[in-house]
Amino acid sequence: MPSPLVAIIMGSDSDLEIMKDAALVLEEMHIPYEIHILSAHRTPFQAMQYAQEASSKGIEVIIAGAGAAAHLAGVIAAVTELPVIGVPTKSSYLQGLDSLLSMVQMPGGIPVATVAINQAKNAGLLAVSILGIKYPEYREAYKTYKKKLEEEVLAKDKKLTTKGWQAYLEEKKK
Ligand SMILES: Nc1c(C(=O)O)ncn1[C@@H]1O[C@H](COP(=O)(O)O)[C@@H](O)[C@H]1O
């Protein structure tokens, strides 16, 4: 087993349904990762220790997801020099705006690269893109991924212009 390059951590198992999207991207790109539940609030000592040791274990990027008063990513970023990508997860009361603001409004000096609410997929892709600077195979994998996206959109455009928007919409509804 190759040692993990990416750590996916989340404040609670309630975030797993969202955070699995980051794991799926990394699996698609064959990037080794590990995944943990750690909380700056509920397991502060373990979260801190994990973040402090991550780099020496070979981790190169950390993805941290949390909801509500989402302090996890910021606390992790405070004690590591690794890039930290934050995923604000949608909380039950404030639709994730609380998580987003807690995560994105970091004080100067300790950045968290925050993606959109629930966008763990983009967090995974950002990790791929960061790793691509050092690993040509991951850069290529990301290139291939984007090429596929491009082809999908162009195919849709062709269909739209060939069939007309009414028929396109009818078919899309089916
Ligand atoms: N924001 C944080 C942190 C943290 O920031 O350290 N730890 C847990 N949580 C969040 O609390 C929400 C509710 O968690 P529970 O469902 O376990 O009560 C989750 O979205 C979690 O990320």
State pTM to two decimals.
0.96
| The two three-digit tokens of residue 167, written as one number | 């028929």
Q: Which residues are annotated as a binding site?
A: 12, 15, 42
Question: Is residue 21 pLDDT above 80, yes or no?
Answer: yes
Q: Which helix (H) or strand (E) holds 67?
A: strand 61-67
Q: Which of 8, 9, 72, 87 to mutate to test the pocket of ligand 1 (most atoms within 8 A of CB)?
A: 72
Ligand 1: residues within 6 Å at CB? 10-12, 14-15, 39-42, 66-72, 89, 91
Q: Tell me the mean pLDDT in the region 131-144.
A: 98
Contact between 119 and 99 (Cβ < 8 Å):
no
- pLDDT tens, residue by residue, 33-44: 999 999 999 999
Neighbours of 149 (CB within 10 A): 10
Ligand 1 atom with least separation from CA of 10: 22
Q: Quick one: average pLDDT of 75-95? A: 95
